[in-house]
Structure formats: structure tokens, C-alpha cells
């Protein structure tokens, strides 16, 4: 049998708060963790009834539980239909988990109990449950929007298709007013269609964080592919179009699809909002170690962005120059920023109205 001194040393070496209680419920021994957890000193605890550490409402009931335990003692967790609570000296309650082990000493039974503060664990579990519910809601909303968007696309295609047919005069001649109205119908339908298509692109399953494919890619290749895609549009507007970057590949671990989608939006905007001058796509490495990043800079000499639009530019449906005659939906930058964040990066911009803008996408360059 352990001496009382050894027993005390043993209790002190245990990471949990430990109490030894006799069959009458009196605390016989404790360790320092109990003092820290409950705010009482050892001398206050030893000799007191263990029920002092429980909420007043549970004390009476506990006396009965304790007596029954002593009649049939075995090692187990303290079972309960309700969350077990401890009470600190300050009166503050906190959730605990308690395990019990009987220790026969002569004809008496001592009860060794380990008490664990489970506040943090319960909070983590609560947050995990809340996240699951949120995720489930998002998935459902996504599913709903996805099918709704598909459903909307079919009649919208019919509207713009028939408007175009009428405008071509295939169903007979139109007067000027009819032509104007039809053009408005056609433009509105196209605008709506563009909105829906962009929303659908955001909802593509591979753009979900869980489904995204992270692979080793060459940032320079991705940028040059997007520039090629946009070259025709740029030269049709008489814009000089440049790709500027090192000769060697710029490796990064990222999603090729997402990166391409972001660059299409940024380069597409630069071309759309620039009527003369040039659009440059520059790619470069910056930072070191954990902070190493690849930057894609898209610079134009276009209309620029008014100061009052700065704060809101990445909001969904926000368009900086409402009266602008350029077609658009105000979704592209929102989507791009979302994707950049999912890739661990971000998009920033600087601009001078009437002189041009620079959008910079930074992506971490980890694990390459
Ligand atoms: P959209 O171009 O379809 O309107 P975006 O979300 O791509 O939507 O952009 C939001 C707004 O930001 C645009 O309406 C435009 O006012 C402004 N913007 C974006 N890129 C540029 C740019 N390169 N130059 C000037 N304005 C820009």
C-alpha cells in the first residue's frame, strides 16, 4: 500500500484534477490542479464535503448517488442525464467530466475521482456542429441556385434568340421604335444571361474548396494562355498587349482552373475598360520562406476607378461607373476575390481615374 506521502506525490504527478473522497463524501486528499480549477486551497478542501464543488441544485441528489456508488463500487465515468457542472469558489459554473475509481482501504472504501474541465472541448464540438449546419445550408442553397440558374437559362435563350430573329427582319419589317424596343429586350436578356453564367461558374463543383485540384503549375504558362485567349479582343480595340515575366517557369502549387478563371476576369476587365494604350500582364516572384508569393500584375491605361468605389469594388453586383456604357454584371471581381482567398491569396488594386488601373493577384508559393 502507498504511504500517504507517496500517494500525495502520485496525485500531484497526474495531469487531471484529482480528489480522494471517503465513503461519507468527505474530501481526504486533493492535488494542485483541484486548487487551480476550483479556486479553493487544499486546507479548505480537505475535510469538506465534496458536494461543495457542485451546483447547489445537484448537491442533495449527489448524496444519494454517492451512497449507491459505495454499495456497488466500480471504476467508471460519472454517468448523468445532464451535463455535469463544477462550481468554482467565485460561484462560476463550468462543464466537467468525472471518472470514479474505488480504492478499498481496510474496511472502508475511498473514491478516487479525476475531474476534467471540458469547457473548451464542448465549445469546439458546438462550433463544429454549427459549422456543419452552416455548410449543409450552403450546399442546399448552392444546389437550389444551380438548378434555378439552369432553368432560367432556357427561356432567356429563347427571348434573346427570338428578339434577334425579329431584329433581322425575318418575320417582316419593323419600324424604328419597334427596333429600339427589341434591342433593349435583346440587351437585357444578354445581360441576365451573363449574370447567370457567371453565377453558375462560381458554383462549379470544382470551385468548392473540398473539390479543388491543387497541382504543381507554371504561373507563367497560365498567364500566357490567358493572354493568348484575350489577344484578339485586345487587338480589335487597337490595344497593345504585353506579357512580361522571367524566361524560366514560375512554379507554384495551386488550382490551375481557379487561377485561369481569376486571370480571365482581371485581363478581361483591363481590356474592357481600356480604349487606348496598353494592357500589361507581369508575373514575378516576391518574398521568401513562408512569405514567398507569386504576383500576377494586370496593368492598363484605361478609365480607372473613382475613389468612392474603392471600398466596394469586390462586392457582388457592384459596378464602379453605373452610367458606363461597358457591358458588365459586377460579379467578376467578387468571384475572383473569393477564388483568390480560397487559394490562400488575395487581389489588390491601385488606380488613378482617367489614367489606368493595376490589379495584383498574389498567391502563396508553398511546397514547390
Ligand atoms: P463587371 O466588369 O462585369 O462590371 P467586375 O466585378 O469584373 O464586373 O468589376 C466590377 C467593377 O469594377 C466594374 O463594373 C468596373 O466599374 C470596375 N473595374 C474592374 N476592373 C476595372 C479596370 N481594369 N478598369 C476600370 N474599372 C474596372
The string of pLDDT tens digits covering residues 144-153 is 777 777 788 8
Nearest Cα residue to 97 out of 120, 121, 124, 115: 115
Which atom belonging to ligand 1 lies closest to the Cα atom of 329?
3
Best of 305, 347, 348, 355 to mutate for ligand 1, by most ligand atoms within 8 A of CB? 305
Helical pair 256-272 and 332-342, crossing angle rounded to 10 deg? 150
Task: List, in sequence order, the alpha helices (H) in the chain.
Answer: 4-13, 32-38, 42-45, 56-71, 119-167, 176-202, 219-236, 256-272, 332-342
Neighbours of 70 (CB within 10 A): 18
Ligand 1 centroid to Cα of residue 236, in Å, is 20
Measured by CA distance, the residue closest to atom 2 of ligand 1 is 328
For the record, the C-alpha cell of 49 comes out as 464535503
Contacts of 212 (CB under 8 A, 6+ apart): 206, 255, 257, 258, 342
How far does the centroid of ligand 1 lie from the alpha carbon of residue 20, in Å? Answer: 70
Minimum-distance ligand 1 atom for the alpha carbon of 321:
16
Cβ atoms of 339 and 262 within 8 Å: the answer is yes
C-alpha cell of residue 207: 470551385
* Helix locations, 39-118, DSSP H: 42-45, 56-71
Alpha-carbon distance 99 to 112, whole Å? 8
Q: Chain-centre distance of CA 337, in angstroms?
A: 13
Q: How far is the CA of 258 from the centre of ligand 1 (A)?
A: 19
Residue 348 phi, psi dihedral angles, 5° rounding: -125, 165
pLDDT in tens, 213-242: 889 999 999 999 999 989 999 999 999 999
* pLDDT for 71: 82
- Answer whether 0.75 is exceeded by the pTM: no
Give the pLDDT band (50/70/90) at residue 20.
very high
Tell me what percent of the residues of the chain surpass a pLDDT of 90: 55
Which of these, 319, 321, 343, 342, lies nearest to 331 by C-alpha position? 319
Q: How far is the CA of 333 from the centre of ligand 1 (A)?
A: 7
Nearest CA to ligand 1 atom 11: 319
Residue position matching grid coordinates 453605373? 322
Q: pLDDT band for position 2 (50/70/90)?
A: low
> Residue 5, SS3?
helix
| pLDDT tens digits along 54-102 | 999 988 888 888 888 888 877 777 765 567 899 999 999 999 999 888 8
In the chain, what is the greatest distance between 2 CA atoms, to the nearest angstrom?
Answer: 112
Q: Would you state the pLDDT for residue 340?
A: 93
Ligand 1 atom with minimal separation from the 356 CA: 24
Amino acid at each position: 500500500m502507498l504511504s500517504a506521502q507517496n500517494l500525495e506525490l502520485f496525485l500531484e504527478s497526474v495531469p487531471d484534477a484529482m480528489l480522494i473522497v471517503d465513503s461519507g463524501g468527505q474530501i481526504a486528499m486533493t492535488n494542485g490542479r483541484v486548487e487551480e480549477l476550483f479556486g479553493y486551497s487544499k486546507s479548505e478542501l480537505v475535510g469538506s464535503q465534496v458536494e461543495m464543488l457542485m451546483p447547489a441544485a445537484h448537491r442533495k441528489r449527489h448524496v444519494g448517488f454517492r451512497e449507491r456508488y459505495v454499495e456497488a463500487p466500480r471504476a467508471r465515468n460519472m454517468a448523468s442525464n445532464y451535463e455535469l457542472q463544477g462550481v468554482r469558489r467565485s460561484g462560476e459554473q463550468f462543464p466537467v467530466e468525472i471518472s470514479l475509481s474505488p480504492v478499498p482501504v481496510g474496511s472502508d472504501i475511498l473514491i478516487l475521482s479525476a475531474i476534467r474541465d471540458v469547457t473548451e472541448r464542448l465549445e469546439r464540438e458546438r462550433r463544429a456542429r454549427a459549422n456543419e449546419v452552416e455548410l449543409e445550408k450552403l450546399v442546399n442553397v448552392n444546389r437550389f441556385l444551380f438548378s434555378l440558374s439552369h432553368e432560367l437559362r432556357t427561356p432567356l435563350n429563347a427571348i434573346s434568340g427570338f428578339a434577334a430573329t425579329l431584329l433581322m427582319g425575318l418575320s417582316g419589317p419593323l419600324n424604328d421604335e419597334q427596333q429600339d424596343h427589341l434591342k433593349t429586350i435583346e440587351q437585357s436578356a444578354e445581360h441576365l444571361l451573363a449574370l447567370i453564367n457567371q453565377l453558375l461558374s462560381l458554383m462549379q463543383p470544382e470551385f468548392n474548396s473540398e473539390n479543388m485540384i491543387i497541382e504543381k503549375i507554371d504561373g507563367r504558362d497560365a498567364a500566357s494562355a490567358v493572354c493568348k485567349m484575350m489577344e484578339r479582343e485586345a487587338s480589335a480595340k487597337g490595344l497593345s498587349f504585353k506579357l512580361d515575366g522571367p524566361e524560366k517557369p514560375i512554379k507554384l502549387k495551386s488550382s490551375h482552373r481557379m487561377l485561369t478563371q481569376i486571370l480571365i476576369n482581371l485581363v478581361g476587365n483591363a481590356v474592357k475598360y481600356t480604349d487606348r494604350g496598353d494592357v500589361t500582364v507581369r508575373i514575378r516572384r516576391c518574398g521568401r520562406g513562408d512569405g514567398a508569393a507569386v504576383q500576377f500584375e494586370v496593368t492598363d491605361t484605361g478609365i480607372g476607378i473613382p475613389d468612392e468605389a474603392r471600398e466596394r469594388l469586390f462586392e457582388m453586383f457592384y459596378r464602379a461607373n453605373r452610367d458606363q456604357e461597358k457591358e458588365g454584371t459586377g460579379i467578376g471581381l467578387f468571384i475572383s476575390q473569393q477564388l483568390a482567398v480560397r487559394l490562400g491569396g488575395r487581389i489588390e488594386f491601385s488606380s488613378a481615374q482617367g489614367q489606368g488601373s493595376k490589379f495584383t493577384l498574389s498567391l502563396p508559393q508553398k511546397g514547390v
